Structure formats: C-alpha cells, structure tokens
Amino acid sequence: MREFFSSLKFKIILCVLALLVGLMIYSATTSGTATSPEAILGAIISPIQKASSTISNKARASIDKLINADKYYKENEVLKDQIAELYGQIANATDIEHENQMLREVIGLKEENPDFVFSPPANIIGRESGSLFGAFTIDKGSLDGISKDDTVISPNGLIGIVTEVAPTYARVTTMLSPDIDIGVYSSREKVTGIVTGDIALAKEGKCKMQFILKDSDIKEGDIVVTAGRSGIYPEGRVVGVVDEVGVEDSGLSLYAIITPIVDSNKINSVFVITNFKGKGLGYE
Amino acid sequence: MDKVRFTAKLILYILLSLLFYVFMTSMHFTRPPFLLIPLCIAISIFESESKLAISLFGAWSGILCDMAMNKLLGFTSIILLISCLACSLLVTHLIRPNLFNHFVLSISATTIVMLSDFFFGYYIWGHDNTFIIAKSITFPVIIFTGILSPVVFWIVKKISLGIEPKYKPTPEEEID
C-alpha cells in the first residue's frame, strides 16, 4: 500500500481531487449559469432524457389510470355535486357578476398583457432527484432567449423561476422551494403577502403565504396572484388558492396555506416569460 | 489486448452510468435509488487494480449525481472519488470482493453522500422542519439504493468477468 501512496497514479488522483474542489468553488461563484462541463454533458444527455421522459410519461399515464380509478370515480362524484351547485348559482345575478369581475382580474392572457415575450414552449425532460420541491429541467436554454430569473408559467398560472441556464437546457425551481419568495396579493381584497416554500407543506404539494397583516380580510378560497413589484415576476399571474388561514406563532401576523394552481408533477410542458414591462425594475 | 479489454469495459460502464442517470431524472420519483453509487463501488471492487481509472470513474459518477440532484458541481464527485479509491484499497488489501461487502460499502457510500447533502443542503440553512427531508428523502433513498445494489453488483460482475479472457489450460495441464 505504501508504494501506491508514493506512486505517480496517487499524485494524479490528488490533482483530480484538487481540480474537483476548484470546480466546486467555480460552480458556486457562477450560480445561475451552468458551468462548461454541465453544459456539455447536458447537451449530450438532453436527447436521451427527452426520449426517456416521453416513454416514462406514457407509462405513468397508463399506470395512473389503473391505480387511481377509485380516486377518479370519487372525484367525478364530487364534481357532479359541484356542477349541481353551480347551476343553482346561475339564478343569482349578483354572484355571477362578482365571479366575472374576479376572473377578469386574475386571468393574465396575452391580450391583457401584450408586453409579455414568451420563449418557445418548453418540454420537461428531467426532474430533480431526491427532492420534495418538484424542480425540473426544460429543453430550452439561453439559445432560445431564456435567462436566469425568467418566470415559468403554464396557461393556468405561475409555476416557478429559472434558476440555472445553459445553452440547450434550463433548470426551474418551483414555488414549493423555500429558496423562492414571491410577492402576491389576493384578488378579492388585495391583501398582500409573500408566498414561499415550506418543507412540511411541500410534502403535500402546498406552500405558505406569510407576513399578512393581522386585520386582513383573507379567507379560504381566495385566489392569490403575483404583485409584480419585485421586477422578477409580472403582475397578475395566478399563484394559487387559499386553503387555510391561521395566526403566526408570534401572534403579530397571519399566514395562509396556498395550493398552487399548477401541480408541477403533472405537467409536461411550460412557457417561459423572457421579458415583460417592468422586468428588472424592483419597487423602491 | 488487456488494455483493449479494459477500455471496452470502461465504455460499457460509462454507458451504464448514463443509463442510470437518465433513470434517476426521467422517472417521477421523489425518492429514486441512486444507482450510480453502487455502480462505482462495484467497479471499484471488480477493477481494484486500476485505481486511477476507477477514481476518475467515481468523479464522473459524482458529476452525474450532482447534475441529477441539482447540487454544486463537484460536491458528490469528491465524495465518490475518495470512496472509490478507499474501496479499491480495501479490496486489494483487506476484504473479499463479494456481494455482502459490496452491499455494506454501497450503503456506507450512499449514507455519506445523502447525509452530506442533507447537512449542507438543508440543515445549515436553518429551514424549518428539515427532519421531514431526512425522513422523506434521505433515509428512503439510502434504503432503496441498498435494496437495488445487488442487481448493480450482478450487472457489473457480468460485464467485468464476461470480458476477461477465459482461462485456457496448457496441453500439459489438460493431460494432468
């Protein structure tokens, strides 16, 4: 064994170890931009991941139908009851008018936001292993105009933000992550707060809205949208629905548990907003 | 000819590592088995004579793990490089290259990787409820990886021994 430790091979291994430490330090300083080894590997592996992802999604859909048949039957029964209830609401003109006004405020389509610049639709080609926060990799990168901190959405609402970008792929962190903070307000009474991830809630696919003023009128069922004051997220993108409201342990403010409008584990493609009016202009 | 055989084995191992990486990232697993770790441990056991090559392979597997887990590039590489080197030294001087030892070494390496990830990725940042990460992700990944490590051992054994030249007895030995 002593000969091995004094051999040239061991010295080469030590050099490789030093190189890896240097790579780690370099990677830490360039957070947000993929390092060259990552970019090259990602470009090579992406096509394989795309093919594997397609097969995996189809298999998952088939298995899901078999396993969750009972669940879908129960959901169907609940939805039928909901439809019956909605028919009752049709008779009430005031309820419909109020509902329409709320929907106009939260729906952020291209016609209402002509300043949005979208990337080409991106497919999800890989998901972060060993994580509760649902982060994923998309098959579009800087060559498609995507850059770090671009907002990622689906037609239904906000999903997250681009946290790392390479020429041919990008990594997206969802709102379930504690590293993401989103300034929001409720569409009904404009109650403001910050949506961020919580490890305990992330396990259930939910997140937390905090720093809500104690006398705010926020309740279960309220829809929460982006405030657009940080310059990172455009205003008016639907974030989620309030599930539960409670008082913080300090007693000084409220919190709300939010169910995201988009379940990142169930989608296969997303849009990235590469530019919008007010991007980069934080509230002063 | 030995170099050609070893190169062929190395290419197969690299292809296997890419397959395991795609498996880890394409499936909708919250707690996927990290098969790259038992893979490089198994290669350390069967190719223990080529310490430089297996150390580099450990670093390569670590880079793939870092990309799969979206961690700092180089973090897992360092751990796996040292683990592979240590395993090959153990097999050369101390322990036998069998399934049980591979299982123990794989579990140990996976535990070191996952606990380091938990500590540096979650615990030191002061997030609430980090024990949920340990309970939901860290320990299940270690267990699932351990359960599937014999499969990886068998695959690497087939590759390693399959490409080795078959022993041909000399005519004198045949007569004896």
Span A188-202, pLDDT tens digits: 888 999 999 998 999
**SS3 at position A115:** coil
Residue A175 lies in a domain: no
Q: Which chain A residues contact residue B121 at CB under 8 A? A: none
Q: Which residue has the higher pLDDT, A145 or A36?
A: A145
Tell which of B23, B28, B48, B71 to mutate to test the A interface (max A CBs under 10 Å): B28
Residue B171 lies in a domain: no
Over the range B60-69, which residues count as b (16 or more CB within 10 Å of their CB) and which as e?
bbbbbbbbbb
Distance between CA B120 and CA B69 in Å, rounded? 13
Residue B30 lies in a domain: yes
Q: Which residue has the higher pLDDT, B44 or B128?
A: B44
Give the nearest partner residue to B63 out of A22, A37, A178, using CB atoms.
A37
Looking at every residue in chain A, the average pLDDT score rounds to: 82
Q: What is the pLDDT of residue A284?
A: 44
Looking at every residue in chain B, the average pLDDT score rounds to: 87
Interface of B with A in 130-159 (CB under 8 A): 130, 132-133, 136-138, 141
Q: Which chain A residues contact residue B51 at CB under 8 A? A: 4, 9-10, 13
Q: What is the pLDDT of residue A251?
A: 87
- A230: pLDDT strictly greater than 60: yes
Q: Which chain A residues contact residue B89 at CB under 8 A? A: 1, 4
Residue A254 lies in a domain: yes
Number of compact structural domains in chain A: 1
Task: For A86, list phi and psi in degrees, rounded to 5.
Answer: -65, -40
Q: What is the CATH number of the domain that holds A256?
A: 2.40.10.350
Residue A209 pLDDT class (50, 70, 90 cuts): very high
Burial of B49 per CB tally in 10 Å (0-12, 13-18, 19+): exposed
Average pLDDT over residues A216-223: 90
Residue B33: closest CA among B103, B126, B137, B123: B137
Q: What is the pLDDT of residue A95?
A: 53
Task: State the count of interchain CB pairs (< 8 A) between A and B.
Answer: 127
Is A16's CB within 8 Å of B81's CB?
A: yes
Residue A172 lies in a domain: no
A48, closest residue in chain B (CA to CA): B22
Q: Does B72 reach chain A within 8 Å, measured CB to CB?
A: yes
Q: Which residue has the higher pLDDT, A84 or A148?
A: A148
Residue whose token pair is 């940080």 = A230
Q: B111 CB contacts (<8 Å, ≥6 apart)?
A: B142
Helix or strand holding residue A101 (H, E): helix A93-106
Predicted TM-score (pTM) above 0.95 = no
Q: What is the pLDDT of residue A118?
A: 80
Give the nearest partner residue to A129 out of B32, B73, B81, using CB atoms.
B32
- B90: pLDDT strictly greater than 80: yes
Is B130's CB within 8 Å of A199's CB?
A: yes
B22, closest residue in chain A (CA to CA): A49
Is B68's CB within 8 Å of A128's CB?
A: yes
- B170: pLDDT strictly greater than 90: no
Residue B176 lies in a domain: no
Q: Chain B: nearest CA to A134, how far in angstroms?
A: 8
Residue whose token pair is 């080197």 = B85
Is A129's CB within 8 Å of B130's CB?
A: no
Q: Does B15 reach chain A within 8 Å, measured CB to CB?
A: no
Span A239-249, pLDDT tens digits: 999 999 999 88
Residue whose token pair is 């974030």 = A239
Q: Chain B: nearest CA to A127, how far in angstroms?
A: 5
Give the nearest partner residue to B133 out of A60, A127, A199, using CB atoms.
A199
Distance between CA B91 and CA B4 in Å, rounded? 24
Q: What is the pLDDT of residue A105?
A: 42
Is A171's CB within 8 Å of B69's CB?
A: no
| Alpha carbon distances (Å) from A150 to A160, A161, B69, B101 | 9, 6, 21, 48
Q: What is the pLDDT of residue A107?
A: 47
Number of compact structural domains in chain B: 1
Residue B174 lies in a domain: no
- A57: pLDDT strictly greater than 80: no
Span A13-29, pLDDT tens digits: 999 999 889 888 888 88
Give the nearest partner residue to A27 out of B28, B72, B137, using CB atoms.
B72
Q: Chain B: nearest CA to A270, how far in angstroms?
A: 17
Interface of A with B in 39-78 (CB under 8 A): 41-42, 45, 48-49, 52-53, 55-56, 60
Span A59-112, pLDDT tens digits: 777 777 777 778 887 888 888 777 767 756 654 565 566 445 544 543 445 566
Give me the domain span that covers residue B10.
Answer: 2-164
Interface of B with A in 90-129 (CB under 8 A): 92-93, 114, 117, 122, 127-129
Q: Which residue has the higher pLDDT, B173 or A276?
A: A276
Helix or strand holding residue B140 (H, E): helix B139-163
Residue A105 lies in a domain: no
Q: What is the pLDDT of residue A112?
A: 61
Residue A246 lies in a domain: yes
Q: Which chain A residues contact residue B137 at CB under 8 A? A: 130-132
Average pLDDT over residues B153-164: 88
Structure tokens at A85: 């209830």
Among the ranges A91-95, A126-130, B172-176, which has the highest mean pLDDT value? Answer: A126-130
Give me the domain span that covers residue A219.
Answer: 181-260
Residue A255 lies in a domain: yes
Q: Does A196 reach chain B within 8 Å, measured CB to CB?
A: no
Residue A32 lies in a domain: no
Distance between CA A165 and CA A32 in Å, rounded? 6
Q: What is the pLDDT of residue A93?
A: 61
**Alpha carbon A57 to chain centroid distance?**
19
Q: What is the pLDDT of residue B11?
A: 92
Q: Does A200 reach chain B within 8 Å, measured CB to CB?
A: yes
Residue A90 lies in a domain: no
Strand partners, A172: A136, A162
